[in-house]
Structure 1
Amino acid sequence: MKSQQIIPYSSRILFFLLFTLSISCAQTKSNSDSSTMDRSAATDLTTDTATFAAGCFWCVEEQFKQLEGVSAVISGYTGGHVRNPSYKQVTTGRTGHAEACNIIYDPAQISYDELLAAFFVAHDPTQLNRQGADVGTQYRSAIFFHNEHQKKLADYYIKQLNDEGAYEKKIVTEISPYSKFYIAEDYHQDYYTNNMDEAYCQMVIKPKLEKFRKVFKGKLKQQ
């Protein structure tokens, strides 16, 4: 079982993200058609992919599944040097891989900017190689960009958050090119849905999910 963690949400961080989002969305939409998108994990030509690591992928998966425009969230491993790693190998911290999620989304319904805002709300990006009590490089904060447009947006958000002092510490989120993504074992997919009564789900994922849903209440799928 993973260690328990509950990350507080800062109102000033949320305000800044939403304010910045309102300014940059128009620019994002005007530039998106000219971007060369890596659609290797997408289901069709109308979708794009974002890849984030933000600690335990059980938490990340369930949070992003809530958003309108997100058609699928796939938990897996990326950023390391071991081919076809198992969960047991990744948890040693010696594979170089991070627990990550491929987020398949429709850019006509939700922008990459909005997914970045959700990423920074979903975890604490100032913790190096950990999230709460989950410690190791496998829990690092990372954005794996699929094209230069995604990279520029990630760099922009991090610079603005740091310049504004949104967090007490500097953001340590890694920004790296997307490479091979290894899909995690079946039991990791839809983990919260399938294990809702387990202690970790009740004590860690559920509180984070409730806070996430409150922040993005205008962007949620119809229940």
Structure 2
Amino acid sequence: MENIKKAYIAGGCFWGMEELFRVRPGIVDTEVGYIGGENQNPTYRNHPGHAEGIEISYDATQTSFEEILDYFFRIHNPTTVDRQGNDIGSSYRSAIFYQNEEELEIAKKVIKIVNDSNKWEGEVATTLEPFSPFWAAEPEHQDYLQKHPNGYTCHFERFDSSFI
């Protein structure tokens, strides 16, 4: 268990992010929730300032924070501010919640690579935010697309190859 680490990201509705990450190599668990906001114990109906985020538990011997971010930038549009698909508002912002200076530097490096690739028509608008408490979403939101295979998502692999 010493090789298990956690990453915290947000890229629009958390259902689609979770569904795509859950099957990635090295990912051992995913949980959707709220992060980066104003209130404690946020709920789906009351999460001011919080992003719909995902907590990713991963085996650092099988994948890395850099590889997680690479995939993150392939499955959502990081150039839109407070929007993914039909979802609009700060809850749907693109954000990386870094836990230490190493993660911050990796995030900056990956963002530069993504911008330099010119695969997206605009510049990355993803915010880099210091980690704050992650609050698990209600049970009905966990594994949502497993329970509702035809449920809404705006996430998909937009590029066949990685940025890094």
The question of a shared fold, defined as TM-score above 0.5 by the shorter chain, is answered with yes
Shift of 1:166: 3.2
Alignment partner of 2:45: what SS? helix
Q: Which 4+ residue blocks in structure 1 deviate beyond 6 angstroms?
A: none
Matched with 1:167 is 120
1 or 2, which has the higher strand percentage?
Answer: 2
How far apart are residue 195 of structure 1 and its match?
Answer: 1.2
Please state how far the C-alpha of 1:197 moved relative to its aligned partner. 4.0
Q: Shift of the alpha carbon at 1:84?
A: 0.6
Give the distance between the partners of 1:106 and 1:159, measured in 2 at CA: 25
Partner of 1:65: 22
CA RMSD across the alignment: 1.8
Aligned ranges 1:184-203 → 2 under 5 Å? 184-198=137-151, 200=152
Indicate whether 1:134 and 2:87 are aligned: yes
Instruction: Tell me which structure has the larger Cα radius of gyration.
Output: 1
SS at match of 1:89: coil
Written as runs of structure 1 = structure 2, the 5 A alignment for 1:26-41 is: none
- Please tell me whether the aligned partners of residues 78 and 100 of structure 1 are also in contact (alpha carbons under 8 angstroms): yes
Which segments of 5 or more consecutive residues in structure 1 lack a partner in the other structure?
1-43, 217-223
* Contact 2:51 2:91 survives alignment (8 Å): yes
Q: TM-score, normalised by structure 1?
A: 0.68
With structure 2 as the length reference, what TM-score do the two structures score? 0.91
* 8 Å Cα contact 1:141/1:172 also seen in 2: yes
Correspondence for 1:77: 34
Gaps in structure 2 of 5+ consecutive residues? none
Tell me the residue number matched to 1:150. Answer: 103
Counting aligned pairs with the same residue, the percent is 39
Residues 98-141 of structure 1, C-alpha deviations (whole Å, 9 max, x = no match): 00000000010111111011100110000000102100000000
Q: Secondary structure at the match of 2:46?
A: helix
Q: Counterpart of 2:45? A: 88
Q: Which residue of 1 aligns with 2:55?
A: 102
